[in-house]
Amino acid sequence: MGTESATEGLSVRTRIRRTVDRSGISAVVDRTVSSPLFWLLPAALFISVFQLYPMVEVFRMSLTDMSLVSSGESYVWLENYRQLLGSDRFRSTLRVTAIYSVASILLQIGLGLGLALAIDYGVRHNLRGPLLTRVTVLSAWIVPGIIIGLVWRIMLLETNVGVVNNTLGQFGFDIVPFLSDAQMAVFSVIVAGAWRGAAFSMIMFYAGLKRVPEQLYRAAKIDGAGPFARFRHVTLPQLKPVMFVVTILVTIYSLNSFDLIFALTNGGPGRATEVIALSMYKTAFNGYQMGMASATAVVLLVVTIGITAVYMWLFDITEEI
């Protein structure tokens, strides 16, 4: 009897200990799962591996003379930046990038906002066509930039086969050198880039317009405000946070434009349409100078961050945030 009682007591203590251990483990699991860091960990690992590490590696490479045709590399520190910032080619590329980006940003924001206002007006007044317009415009954003560039290249062929020149020929115009003339080539890539990027701006602005309360427009009408006054004093202030986000994203996209220009002009004629991203690609894979290309990428990153800081100062959206 004594042995059975001792065995039973030991069994009870063992079960209690196991229950306590399991409760402790469950509590730890519950605390871990309820912590936001647990759910952010996969995203943090993904960003670290595929974004942060490449950025650090690019910066390291920019300090070396790394080349695709040699296995060895040595640190030259700031020599790549000195050569890059002192070269006439980079200054020319920077000028082309500035012209392309400024014009493209203005056109994308203007066209996107105009399309969004037109679609919103049609939806509010139950007109026909807003859905078809949204699908048509959105198709330009879905198609990859390399395909868009090839399509525009075919359209702008400087023969009667080209769609645009063929149409102009029907009205008695001569063939326009859209891609062989330097100024016309810049104009062509700006139009093609704006045509594609306006779709993204339209989507963002239309989403912002949907959150503008209808009561604000009614109150403005009662106060005697016309369409322009309602747009200036009601629509624009309500779209300020969306305008800030769109401006930043469109600027980043324009500064890093590569695929469309690569397919449309490949930076030509000469280097008339060679933007920074395309110059970086050619330096790396045509000139095999990975160190110099990495330095170009770092400079482009610094320019992008600087412009973003200027936007934050201009928009002053601290109250909205």
Helix (H) or strand (E) holding 218: helix 214-222
What is the model's pLDDT at position 218?
A: 86
What is the model's pLDDT at position 224?
A: 86
What is the model's pLDDT at position 245?
A: 92
What is the model's pLDDT at position 81?
A: 95
The 8-class DSSP code of residue 37 comes to H
Which residues are CB-contacts of 96 (< 8 A; sequence separation ≥ 6)? 186, 271, 272, 273, 274, 275
What is the model's pLDDT at position 153?
A: 92
What's the CATH architecture for 79-315? Orthogonal Bundle (1.10)
Supply the pTM of this predicted model.
Answer: 0.84
Percentage of the residues of the chain whose pLDDT score is greater than 70: 88
What is the model's pLDDT at position 315?
A: 82
Bridge-partner residues for 289, per DSSP?
Answer: 67
Q: Please tell me the distance from the alpha carbon of residue 112 to that of residue 275, in angstroms, as a whole number.
A: 23
